[in-house]
């Protein structure tokens, strides 16, 4: 049986894409398989781990809990879209590097997108707010301390108050 295909239009990291996918294609799979953007990682695939978090029209969402066809017409930002225009690390990425906020790196794309949106909404989080910001993302390596530090470091970098390392 061949499944019916649906035309899906997505603007991913500023680049428009048109793909034809079955209705059951998850946005996470459309990004990875159909568009080749493998920066978005798929962990639990039922909304618990947060690895697949992308920004949908600016708001963080689980791309594994969304069908690509539902998202058609939306703007999506993936981890590939977080670098600066010249290809250098964006502030949240730089903060993770500065603070050793990752080890195996599998969960990192979800953290980076979540924190990017979190700091946009709350540019100067308290320590507790920094923890709350990442509460929906699981990391099995780091013990989270360095990720919390990276949130606070990223806030400094964005505010332009961080000292260069």
Partner 1 sequence: MKPAPFAYARPTDLASAVEALAGNADAKVLAGGQSLVPLLSMRLAAPAMLVDINRLPDLDHVTSDASGVRVGALARHAAVLADDEARRIQPLLALALANVAHATIRNRGTTVGSLVHADAAAEMPVVLCLLGGSVDVVGPRGRRTVAAADLFLGPLESSLAHDEIAVEAFFPALAAHTGVAFREVARRHGDYALCGVAGLVRLEGPRIAEARAGYLSVSDVPTVIDLTPALSSSESLSDEALAAAGELALAALDPQGDIHGTAAYRAQLVRALTARTLRAAYDDAGRRREQP
**Rule CB under 8 A: which residues touch partner 1?**
1, 3-4, 6, 22-24, 26, 29, 45-47, 50, 53, 56, 59-62, 64-67, 69-70, 114, 118, 133, 135-136
User: 2 Cβ partners below 8 Å, 6+ apart?
Assistant: none
Question: In whole angstroms, how close is the CB of 45 to partner 1 at the nearest point?
Answer: 4
Question: In whole angstroms, how close is the CB of 56 to partner 1 at the nearest point?
Answer: 8
Cross-strand pairs, 59? 56
Place of tokens 């969960």: 107
Q: Which is nearer to partner 1, 64 or 102 (CB)?
A: 64
Tell me how far apart the alpha carbons of residues 94 and 136 are, in angstroms, rounded to a whole number.
21
Question: In whole angstroms, how close is the CB of 24 to partner 1 at the nearest point?
Answer: 4
Contact 48, 42 (CB under 8 A): no
User: Rg of the chain over CA atoms, in angstroms?
Assistant: 16
Q: Which two tokens stand for residue 142?
A: 């780091």
Helix spans in 11-163 (H): 27-29, 68-71, 91-99, 108-121, 127-133, 145-159
Q: Which is nearer to partner 1, 81 or 118 (CB)?
A: 118
Question: In whole angstroms, how close is the CB of 87 to partner 1 at the nearest point?
Answer: 27
Question: In whole angstroms, how close is the CB of 107 to partner 1 at the nearest point?
Answer: 13
Q: Which is nearer to partner 1, 12 or 98 (CB)?
A: 12
Q: Which is nearer to partner 1, 23 or 104 (CB)?
A: 23
Q: Which is nearer to partner 1, 16 or 46 (CB)?
A: 46
Cross-strand pairs, 19? 8
């Amino acid at each position: 049986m061949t499944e019916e295909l649906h035309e899906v239009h997505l603007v991913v990291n500023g680049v428009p894409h048109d793909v034809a996918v079955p209705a059951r294609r998850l946005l996470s799979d459309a990004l990875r398989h159909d568009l080749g953007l493998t920066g978005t990682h798929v962990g639990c695939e039922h909304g618990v781990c947060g690895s697949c978090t992308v920004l949908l029209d600016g708001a963080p969402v689980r791309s594994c809990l969304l069908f690509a066809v539902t998202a058609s017409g939306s703007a999506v930002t993936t981890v590939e879209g977080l670098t600066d225009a010249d290809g250098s690390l964006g502030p949240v990425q730089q903060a993770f590097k500065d603070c050793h906020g990752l080890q195996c790196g599998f969960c990192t794309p979800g953290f980076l997108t979540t924190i990017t949106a979190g700091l946009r909404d709350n540019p100067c989080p308290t320590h507790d707010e920094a923890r709350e910001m990442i509460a929906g993302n699981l990391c099995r390596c780091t013990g989270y301390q360095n990720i919390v530090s990276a949130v606070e470091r990223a806030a400094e970098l964005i505010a332009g108050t961080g000292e260069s390392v």
